[in-house]
Amino acid sequence: MTRHRPSAPHRRAPAPAPAAGSPALLLIAHGSRDARHAATVEALVGLVRTARPALEVATAYLDHCAPRIPQVVGRLDGRAAVAVPLLLGRAFHARSDIPAALRAAAADLPVADVLGPSPLLLDALDRRLAEAGLDLGSAAVRARTGVVLASAGSSDPAANAAVRELAAEWRRTRGWAAVETAHASAVPPHVPDAVAALRTAPGVERVAVAPYLLAPGLLPDRIAAAAEASGADLTAGVLGASPEIATLLLRRYDLARTATATAPALTA
């Protein structure tokens, strides 16, 4: 029988640190009326600044929070920047909202890829489950645990398919008994469906729910409430301000920065 060891943080050779005068990192977050959302984004920005002290980092929001993209573009005052979406997948916000907002702000600058997929996201999910009390150091515990990967859900079938692919990869590489996906939005399946499916899955003795969301708010609260009502044994926190997410943001920035020979200047 193959034993699965707890995963080590995913490591690659670091990209070269940007030299002085490198473009700023313009982090674009969705925004929320829930104050915990902006607090989480700012904590994540703090991790990015700690990891890359010489890098200028600015934050803008698509909705609900300030500052918005036009305000931040104005503050950068023509300096070069790379936009990095704080988004997990290529759904509507990535494909439409962010490009439209940048065009409306007359900001001609490279846009980095979204965060997913990446093994670092699996590391962050593992981290949150361990913090919630699951013994991830035990291969036997993993082999008896079924996990619900609970995302926001999207009207875009491709975005939902990408989450299913991530769930399959998480099970294959980390040794879970089973992994089911669920959505917090109106798009099925929902958390109770996934928990029920895992209760009847072979070898599953414990069910854990792992929110695949970046910050607290309405949808994570909905997931947590549904997990409790469905009798899940354990519910993790959101991905949040984790070192894995900070590292991933910098990797996306570096890839976009190095792919552009000369970063276009922002124009007001």
| Separation between Cα atoms, residue 35 and residue 75, nearest integer Å | 23
Q: How far apart are CA 43 and CA 59, in angstroms?
A: 12
* CB-CB contact of 212 with 149 (8 Å): yes
Q: What is 24-116+243-259's CATH topology?
A: Rossmann fold (3.40.50)
Distance from C-alpha of 260 to C-alpha of 44, rounded to nearest angstrom: 25
Task: Give the pLDDT score at 11.
Answer: 45
Domains 24-116+243-259 and 133-235 fall in the same CATH topology = yes
Model confidence at 24: pLDDT above 50: yes
pLDDT score of 262 more than 50: no
CA 241 to CA 159: how far, in whole Å?
A: 23
Q: Count, in order, helices (H) and strands (E) of the chain.
A: 10, 7
Q: Is the separation of the CB atoms in 237 and 211 below 8 Å? A: yes
Give me the residue spans of the domains in the chain.
24-116+243-259, 133-235
Give me the pLDDT at residue 95, please: 77
Placement of tokens 């991530």 in the chain:
166
- At residue 163 the predicted structure's pLDDT band, cuts being 50, 70 and 90, is very high
| Euclidean distance between CA atoms 212 and 232, whole angstroms | 16
Q: Tell me how many degrees the CA angle 152-154-160 measures, rounded to the nearest 5.
A: 90
User: What pLDDT does residue 231 have?
Assistant: 98
Please give the mean pLDDT across all residues of the chain. Answer: 90
**Largest Cα–Cα distance in the chain?**
62
Each residue's pLDDT tens digit, 121-147 = 999 999 999 999 999 999 999 999 999
78 pLDDT tier (thresholds 50, 70, 90): confident
User: pLDDT-based confidence at 20, cuts 50/70/90?
Assistant: low
Are the CB atoms for 44 and 240 separated by under 8 Å? Answer: yes
Q: What is the DSSP letter of 96?
A: I
**Which contiguous run of DSSP H or E holds residue 209?**
strand 206-211
- Across residues 16-26, what is the average pLDDT? 72
Residue-level pLDDT at 2: 35
- State residue 22's pLDDT score: 86
The reply to whether the predicted model has a pTM over 0.95 is no
CATH topology assigned to domain 133-235: Rossmann fold (3.40.50)
Mean pLDDT check: name the lowest of 2-11, 116-125, 210-219: 2-11
DSSP letter for 5, please.
Answer: P
**Cα 134 to the chain's mean position, in Å?**
21
